[in-house]
Amino acid sequence: MDLSTDYMGLKLKHPIIASSSPLSNTLAGIKLLEDSGASAIVMFSLFEEQIRRENEAFDFFLESGTESFAESINYFAPIDTAHKGPEDYLNLIRKAVETTDIPIIGSLNGITSEGWIDYAKQIQEAGASALELNIYFIPTDIDMSASEVEQRYFDILKTVKDAVFIPVAIKLSPFFSATGNMAKRLDEAGADALVLFNRFYQPDIDLDNLKIDPRIDLSTPAEIRLPLLWIAVLYGRIKAALAASRGIHSSTEIIKYLLAGADAVMVASALIKNGPRYLSVLIDETDKWLTARDYRSLDEVKGVMSRQNVKDPAAFERVNYIKVLESFENPFMSGMVNNRRDNPFI
Ligand SMILES: Cc1cc2nc3c(=O)[nH]c(=O)nc-3n(C[C@H](O)[C@H](O)[C@H](O)COP(=O)(O)O)c2cc1C
């Protein structure tokens, strides 16, 4: 089975990319991801705040206690030593490019288009094959309109596209009132790929100490549904490549994303949880599943279950939601009599 894929002009031996995460904090970590089979690596992000030395979001990543991050307890520790500043970031990319044979994708994480974006050029000069822009903007200012929020994305994209010749991907949030239209306009504005989706930091409340709990949990497979929907809807309708990010914990999620129309898939949580070597399991199992079904190349797989290729495109739409709701049976009203005995609420 030929698993090779084209991701925004990068020729990858298979579609499984190591997503931006602390696993790429060190050269040893990057080498391990390559040895484990990653077809490309998206570096951890260089933050606008880090460059500006304001450090708000950055401090969050540094200081969110490793203890509160149950499933990846060891993975925050190296950040302290690795994130010394933009120079260290560029040096790490330089070394990674020299010592690996896979594309290294730089990652910039910010919310404005001024000043810090010069680093896009320097990441290119350091040898990165492409750049991913993570516009991690949470519009808590309720006077800011949707079009102002959207304009930020276009301003950042334009500034970066004007500065570099390497391909530029945008890691998008799903929180737009017209996500599909936003994707279309970013495509028209020159985005070479869209990464769907960013996982936003959503703080919890610590009831014991009445404090805000700044926690990031690892993803679960159930989270693929939202990116899956939008990849299936966008497939064949925009020029930009589509990368799926979220919820990949086994080959099942990978195959679903490919059938929906992803050109590449990105994995972070599963590698943090199981270790980078888990990549080889993901690759083997994806290969086996597709080979067993007589697929010969990834092109035969991509988009088979996209909105434009399924028999019933309405399956992706509201009408289907209504059907699902109508067919939903109340388990406490039929069949599950035994539950009643054990359930004090019925
Ligand atoms: C500990 C941790 C650190 C992350 N750091 C970054 C980062 O620096 N930049 C970025 O764009 N995404 C970052 N991400 C997001 C991942 O790249 C990925 O998009 C997200 O976790 C969804 O994929 P997953 O379900 O495979 O984890 C991070 C995720 C985790 C869990």
* pLDDT tens-place string over residues 42-81: 999 998 877 776 444 445 544 443 333 333 333 333 444 3
In contact, 271 and 18? CB cutoff 8 Å: yes
Q: Is 64 in the pocket of ligand 1 (CB under 6 A)?
A: no
The verdict on residue 104 lying in a domain is yes
Q: Is 97 in the pocket of ligand 1 (CB under 6 A)?
A: no
CA nearest 19: which of 169, 157, 154? 169
Q: Is 100 in the pocket of ligand 1 (CB under 6 A)?
A: no
Q: Which of 16, 17, 21 to mutate to test the pocket of ligand 1 (most atoms within 8 A of CB)?
A: 21
Amino acid 53: pLDDT: 60
Q: Is 108 in the pocket of ligand 1 (CB under 6 A)?
A: no
Q: Is 22 in the pocket of ligand 1 (CB under 6 A)?
A: yes
Amino acid 342: pLDDT: 61
Ligand 1 atom closest to the CA of 132, numbered from 1: 11
Q: How far apart are CA 195 and CA 262, in angstroms?
A: 10
The verdict on residue 325 lying in a domain is no
The verdict on residue 328 lying in a domain is no
Please name the residue whose Cα sits nearest to atom 29 of ligand 1. Answer: 21
Ligand 1 atom closest to the CA of 246, numbered from 1: 25
Kindly list the distances between the CA atom of residue 143 and the CA atoms of 106, 147, 148, in Å, as whole numbers in the listed order: 33, 12, 10
Q: How far apart are CA 89 and CA 43, in angstroms?
A: 9
Q: How far apart are CA 132 and CA 168, in angstroms?
A: 6
Kindly list the distances between the CA atom of residue 169 and the CA atoms of 57, 82, 134, 161, 174, in Å, as whole numbers in the listed order: 21, 24, 9, 10, 15
Q: Is 44 in the pocket of ligand 1 (CB under 6 A)?
A: yes
Please measure the distance between the N-terminal and C-terminal CA atoms of the chain and give it in whole angstroms. Answer: 53
Q: Is 171 in the pocket of ligand 1 (CB under 6 A)?
A: yes
Query: Which domain covers residue 130, as residue numbers?
Result: 5-307
Q: What percent of the chain has pLDDT over 90?
A: 67
Amino acid 77: pLDDT: 35
The model's pTM is 0.87
The verdict on residue 344 lying in a domain is no
Q: Which of 80, 199, 279 to mutate to test the pocket of ligand 1 (most atoms within 8 A of CB)?
A: 199
Ligand 1 atom closest to the CA of 69, numbered from 1: 1
- CATH number, domain of 271, equals 3.20.20.70
The verdict on residue 338 lying in a domain is no
Query: pLDDT per residue over 233-272, tens digit each?
Result: 999 999 999 999 999 999 999 999 999 999 999 999 999 9
Cis before 58? omega within 30: no
The verdict on residue 53 lying in a domain is yes
Kindly list the distances between the CA atom of residue 106 and the CA atoms of 14, 20, 33, 221, 283, in Å, as whole numbers in the listed order: 19, 9, 15, 26, 23
The verdict on residue 100 lying in a domain is yes
Amino acid 344: pLDDT: 60
Q: Say which amino acid occupies 252.
A: T
- For ligand 1, the distance from its centroid to the CA atom of residue 339, given in whole angstroms, is 40
Total structural domains within the chain: 1
* pLDDT: which is higher, 216 or 304: 304
In contact, 163 and 138? CB cutoff 8 Å: no
Q: What percent of the chain has pLDDT over 70?
A: 86
Non-local CB neighbours of 326 within 8 Å, separated by 6+ positions: none
Three-class secondary structure of residue 281 per DSSP = helix
Structure tokens at 8: 């925004």
The verdict on residue 326 lying in a domain is no
